[in-house]
A = this chain, B = another copy of it.
Amino acid sequence: MATTPAATPPLLRRVNASKLLGVLSTAGVMTGTGLIEATGLTRATVHAVCNDLIAMGWVVELDPGHDAPGTPVGRPSRRFEFNSQAGYVLGIDVGAAKTTVLLADLRGDTVAKAGRSFAEVRTPTEQTEVVNQAVLETLAAAGVSDQEVLAAAVGIAAPVDRDGNILVDDEFWRRFDAGLTARLSELHGWPVLLENDANLAALGERWRGQAREVDDLVVLLAGERFGSGLMDSGRLLHGSRGGAGEMVYLKMVEGVGDTAGIARTARERGAKAVADPVVQTSLRALAGDKPVTAELVFAAAASGDQVALGILDEVTTRTARVVATLAILFNPELVVIGGAVAEAAKSLLPSISEQLAGFTATPPRVAASSLGDAIVSVGAVRRALNYVEEHALDLQLRARRA
């Protein structure tokens, strides 16, 4: 009947241990005195908690020594360090055309990376197999066993609710294998979390991107697809069925913004240019036999092609309108634009910012992502680390450094 268990004395230890571990996981080597200051606990408690954490494998004790660089007086301190090799996490980006897998230690530092194209993939089962190959590659490269992996997070281009379920069954989201997470978990034994790719992008940007210290954030993912991750007060928004931030149905972004849309527009304009020999464009040639990709359009624009430039101008104008709408409705402090289109949009950020000022009373800052291709997989690593931090004191470690 009771929703949460009763608060008993061991809860105190849990709370204090969790807090101390949180401090250690972001700081470097710390002494007992340093932990007293950082946590507000007394010396006796700090040492008791540290002893517990060392026994569990979360913390390693270094040789005693002095902390301050000044005159070393008094008994040397015990020195504690978060054991970043106590386990590993996987961040997996399952995109439309390819997958990216990051294996990271508990500090979040990448220890191995792998990617695979989905070009040969025909069925969902094959897709899962390809993802698994990339996973195995990272584990082998770093010499990490399944027992050492504490969690994995997978990002997909579909709405995912708070419980990691895909509730929307729709043609737009049919491209991936709904059994992916169950299959990976079954094969390897580690928990696999599922999350929307744009949401993970938001986590990534806030952790290691442009949005550090930012609590109210919109990340616009403009790459293979056009979507957004929304964060209010540091919390991701999901909506009732995981659809928060999705824009597939938004009229204003119809067909433009993602790379497929750009390529299609380029093919049309290229064909039109064939009929009008006055217009000089490299897209005309491309419209024939070779497939026109968004990358080719970016390249053409970079070398001054007028038609390509016109297409990108249109893309950024539409992007600006979307940013304005999101900025008005969510009032974020910052909007980060990520994905393949981000690179091209970078030079247009000032004009987007300028347009924004006219639309809202408190326009957000606008920035381009610097995480590039890894925007989703880095966020997935962060998601997996969040899970580990939440469950740290319940997890059984198989530590390397003891």
A288: Cβ under 8 A from any B Cβ? no
A247: Cβ under 8 A from any B Cβ? yes
A77: Cβ under 8 A from any B Cβ? no
By a CB distance below 8 angstroms, the chain B residues around A215 are 240
Q: How far is the CB of A323 from chain B (nearest CB, A)?
A: 13
Nearest opposing residue in chain B for A239, CB measure: B331
Partner among B16, B41, B232 whose Cβ is within 8 Å of the Cβ of A239: B232
CA distance A360 to B247 in the complex (A): 9
CA distance A249 to B324 in the complex (A): 9
- Contact of B237 with A330 in the complex, beta carbons under 8 Å: yes
Nearest opposing residue in chain B for A17, CB measure: B7
By a CB distance below 8 angstroms, the chain B residues around A167 are 362
- Contact of B4 with A38 in the complex, beta carbons under 8 Å: no
Q: How far is the CB of A81 from chain B (nearest CB, A)?
A: 19
- Contact of B16 with A12 in the complex, beta carbons under 8 Å: no
Instruction: Tell me the chain A residues, 43-87 only, with Cβ under 8 Å from chain B.
Output: 45
- Contact of B232 with A238 in the complex, beta carbons under 8 Å: yes
A181: Cβ under 8 A from any B Cβ? no
A313: Cβ under 8 A from any B Cβ? no
Partner among B9, B250, B329, B361 whose Cβ is within 8 Å of the Cβ of A168: B361
A243-B16 in contact given A6-B41, A237-B330, A329-B329 (Cβ < 8 Å) = no
- Contact of A1 with B37 in the complex, beta carbons under 8 Å: yes
- Contact of A331 with B16 in the complex, beta carbons under 8 Å: no
- Contact of A237 with B244 in the complex, beta carbons under 8 Å: no
By a CB distance below 8 angstroms, the chain B residues around A247 are 328-329
- Contact of B40 with A2 in the complex, beta carbons under 8 Å: yes
Instruction: Tell me the chain A residues, 216-252 only, with Cβ under 8 Å from chain B.
Output: 216, 230, 232-233, 235, 237-250
Top 5 A-B pairs ranked by shortest CB distance?
A239-B331, A2-B40, A243-B331, A240-B333, A216-B240
A-B contact pairs, 28 of them (CB 8 A): A1-B37, A1-B38, A2-B38, A2-B39, A2-B40, A2-B41, A4-B40, A6-B16, A6-B40, A6-B41, A6-B45, A7-B12, A7-B16, A11-B15, A167-B362, A168-B361, A232-B232, A232-B237, A232-B239, A233-B235, A238-B331, A240-B332, A240-B364, A243-B362, A244-B329, A244-B330, A244-B331, A247-B329
